[in-house]
């Protein structure tokens, strides 16, 4: 067994000691070092270290090939050298991409998605409390009254899930872009501080370090923190770089907040709010001249305004008009149609998806919306996760809104947001109620149909049913007898595609056999599955791009998706297993975005290696054919 600590000690000495190391990280098989002076490191000495398989120089790094025990070597390396551990996919490893308009848009969308998607558990839990409140409350079953303690409890628990959204978002956004989570949460807390909220409510002029600030209520908002955390990263990095280590514990967080508090309160947070105000005001102006078309446009865009906190100007305007005129015929009908469209998006997803987990979640989103009137779970759980369902939602909202506009539907009350929302049309008479109800049904059905047909990529595992098949395998694992014999004879392809010899893989670590014999598979799909029954011996939790498997006969398989994909820091990857898991043939391991890899200029070849091939001299890899995941044999013992 390899002595990981000795390997780390010998490598550290060979590269010139910790004083010559400016950054250390690792991927699935390599210790990746950025050295002050690469000439000090002696490649010949490093290659002779017992446990080191080779050395390559790439992208300004000295990459030392260790094997699947590299995480343990890395940990020892950092401990011995007193080196701060970097993530397995540090900034320095990220492949450079051309800064095009499309790339900027994708980066923004990925930042938003990566920040909002982790909040889904909070949003779902909070939404379910409101759903229960709506069901047992006076508007439905009437089990409890508005004055009851249970009703109040359910109400403020729901509020806690959404009111403090800037704080939760501070954590997830900071984690997404790699900055201090606690300082970002602190900054979110500043935007919601009780004394500041009291100043906002009183409308008193306020200055931050002498700088005047506009007063806004940032509870439940998204854009102010998205902007603030992005800037926080660079401010925090600046002070980490320039403040001496002996003073950094105190002064890095202090100075970061001293800069960010006025920047956020006086510039970024108001900017987020003002962007919303500009958009909302523009929509109101558009409504004054656009008539029924304006209702359709607002219905299509409404949920995006809600998610970004940009809808409050329209809400205030709507309520004011209802209070003064008795009814409102633009914003409220549009918002109603948009709500039904979001619910319809969840329904369409339920019928389209075959993955058991995703299907179940989609039904939960639908119930949360139709009974509780809460659409955030669908928006974040489907829209931001898969992106295309938003198109279906917008189509449904636009069509329903168009009908509402053409039939001059008006709302006479602001009340429920669940299926009882149609009662707001009742005061306008039978025709208004009927047309309002029809517009809601149109929105829901149109969104469901559009989401079903165009809301998902046809090769997505949640749609193809691969994941559902995996679940069936996993569910039956306890009741079935393990069929994997100790003398396993064949191993299938882990992904469908063209099988090529390892020598054709465009990475010398894999092509020269440093890591063991194997093949490459140029993928046709985006899902990697277990090639046979095995135990997961290692995973890359941060970058999610590689998995190590140990077979029942002791063979060790490395599945590595793409070349230099560690630098994506998990972007475009989903990992479905953890170290120690027992998997069966065909069970889903990794899902990746092949299109994204292409946009980043990365080779998507899936590397499939037998890392201890020296222990299996008779093992033979098959190449030169089109492989089908789980069926085509690529390795025979």
Which residue reads 């559902």 in tokens?
468
Long-range residue pairs from 255-259, CB within 8 A, at least 24 positions apart, any chain: 256/180, 256/183, 256/232, 257/183, 257/186, 257/187, 259/235
Are 142 and 420 in contact by the 8 Å Cβ rule? The answer is no
What span, in angstroms and rounded, lies between the C-alpha atoms of 232 and 179? Answer: 8
What span, in angstroms and rounded, lies between the C-alpha atoms of 468 and 459? Answer: 14
What span, in angstroms and rounded, lies between the C-alpha atoms of 194 and 320? Answer: 27
254-292 exposure pattern, b = at least 16 Cβ within 10 A, e = fewer: ebbbebbbebbbbbbbbbbbebbbebbeebbeebeebeb
User: Phi and psi at residue 268, in whole multiples of 5°?
Assistant: -70, -50
Cβ neighbours, 10 Å, residue 87: 16
What DSSP string runs through 373-389? ---HHHIIIIIHHHSTH
Cα dihedral value 351, 357, 362, 366, nearest 10: 110
> How many residues are listed for the chain in this entry?
637
What's the Cα-to-Cα distance from 481 to each of 177, 492, 581, 584, rounded to whole Å?
45, 20, 17, 12
Alpha helices (H) in 264-291, listed in sequence order: 269-290
What DSSP string runs through 192-253? H-HHHHHHHHHT---EETTEE------TT-SHHHHHHHHHHHHHHHHHHHHS-HHHHHHHHH
What DSSP string runs through 547-600? EEEE-TTS-EEEEEESSSGGGGTTTTEEE---TT-EE-TT-EEEEE-HHHHHHT
Active site residue 560: yes
Q: What angle do CA 74, 80, 81 make, to 5 degrees?
A: 90
User: Phi and psi at residue 521, in whole multiples of 5°?
Assistant: -125, 115
What DSSP character marks residue 609?
E
| Catalytic hit among 27, 337, 440, 494 | 27
What DSSP character marks residue 326?
S
User: Phi and psi at residue 616, in whole multiples of 5°?
Assistant: -130, 70
| Catalytic hit among 26, 311, 545, 560 | 560
What span, in angstroms and rounded, lies between the C-alpha atoms of 570 and 576? Answer: 13
Angle between helices 181-192 and 245-263 (to 10 degrees): 30
Sheet holding 588-592, edge to edge: 527-529, 588-592, 573-575
User: 520: helix, coil or strand?
Assistant: strand
Active site residue 532: no
Q: Which residues are catalytic?
A: 27, 560
């Amino acid at each position: 067994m390899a002595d990981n600590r000795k390997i780390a000690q010998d490598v550290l000495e060979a590269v010139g000691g910790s004083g010559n190391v400016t950054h250390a990280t690792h991927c699935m098989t390599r210790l990746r070092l950025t050295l002050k002076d690469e000439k000090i490191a002696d490649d010949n000495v490093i290659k002779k270290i017992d446990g080191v398989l080779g050395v390559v120089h790439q992208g300004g790094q000295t990459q030392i090939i260790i094997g699947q025990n590299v995480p343990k070597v890395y940990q020892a390396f950092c401990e011995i050298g007193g080196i701060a551990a970097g993530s397995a996919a540090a900034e320095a490893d990220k492949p450079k991409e051309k800064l095009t308009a499309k790339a900027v848009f994708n980066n923004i969308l990925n930042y938003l998605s990566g920040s909002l998607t982790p909040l889904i558990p909070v949003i779902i839990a909070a939404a379910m409390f409101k759903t229960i409140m709506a069901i047992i409350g006076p508007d439905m079953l009437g089990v409890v009254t508005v004055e009851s303690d249970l009703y109040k409890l359910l109400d403020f628990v729901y509020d806690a899930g959404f009111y403090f959204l800037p704080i939760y978002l501070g954590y997830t956004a900071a984690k997404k872009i790699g900055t201090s989570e606690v300082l970002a949460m602190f900054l979110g807390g500043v935007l919601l501080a009780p004394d500041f909220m009291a100043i906002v409510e009183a409308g008193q002029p306020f200055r931050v370090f002498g700088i005047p600030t506009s007063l806004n209520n940032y509870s439940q908002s998204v854009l102010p923190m998205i902007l603030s955390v992005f800037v926080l990263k660079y401010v925090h990095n600046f002070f980490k770089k320039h403040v001496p280590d002996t003073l950094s514990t105190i002064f890095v967080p202090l100075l970061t907040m001293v800069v960010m508090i006025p920047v956020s309160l006086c510039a970024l947070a108001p900017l987020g709010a003002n962007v919303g105000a500009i958009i909302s005001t523009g929509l109101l102006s558009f409504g004054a001249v656009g008539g029924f078309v304006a209702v359709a446009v607002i219905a299509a865009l409404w949920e995006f305004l809600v998610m970004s906190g940009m809808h409050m100007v329209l809400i205030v305007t709507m309520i004011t008009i209802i209070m003064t005129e008795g009814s409102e015929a633009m914003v409220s009908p549009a918002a109603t149609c948009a709500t039904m469209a979001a619910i319809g998006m969840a329904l369409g997803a339920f019928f389209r998806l075959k993955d058991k987990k995703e299907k179940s979640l989609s039904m939960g989103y639908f119930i949360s919306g139709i009974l509780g009137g809460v659409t955030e779970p669908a928006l974040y759980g489907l829209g931001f996760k898969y992106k295309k369902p938003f198109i279906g939602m917008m189509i449904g909202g636009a069509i329903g809104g168009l009908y509402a506009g053409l039939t001059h539907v008006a709302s006479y009350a602001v009340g429920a947001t669940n299926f009882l929302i149609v009662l707001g049309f009742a005061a306008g008479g039978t025709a208004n109620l009927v047309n309002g109800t029809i517009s809601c049904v149109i929105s829901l059905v149109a969104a469901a149909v559009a989401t079903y047909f165009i809301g998902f990529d046809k090769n997505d595992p949640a749609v193809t049913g691969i994941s559902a098949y995996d679940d069936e395998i996993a569910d039956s694992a306890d009741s079935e007898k393990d069929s994997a014999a100790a003398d396993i004879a064949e191993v299938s392809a882990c992904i469908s595609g063209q099988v090529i010899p390892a020598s054709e893989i465009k990475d010398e670590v894999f092509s020269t056999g440093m890591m063991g014999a194997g093949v490459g598979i140029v993928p046709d799909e985006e899902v990697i599955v277990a090639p046979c029954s095995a135990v997961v011996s290692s995973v890359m939790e941060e970058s999610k791009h590689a998995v190590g498997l140990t077979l029942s006969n002791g063979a060790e398989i490395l599945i590595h998706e793409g070349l230099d994909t560690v630098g994506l820091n998990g972007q475009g990857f989903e990992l479905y297993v953890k170290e120690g898991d027992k998997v069966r043939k065909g069970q889903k391991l990794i899902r990746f975005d092949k299109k994204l890899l292409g946009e980043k200029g990365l080779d998507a070849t899936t590397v499939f290696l037998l890392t201890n091939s020296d222990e299996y001299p008779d093992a033979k890899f098959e190449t030169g054919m089109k492989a089908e995941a789980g069926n085509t044999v690529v390795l025979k013992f």
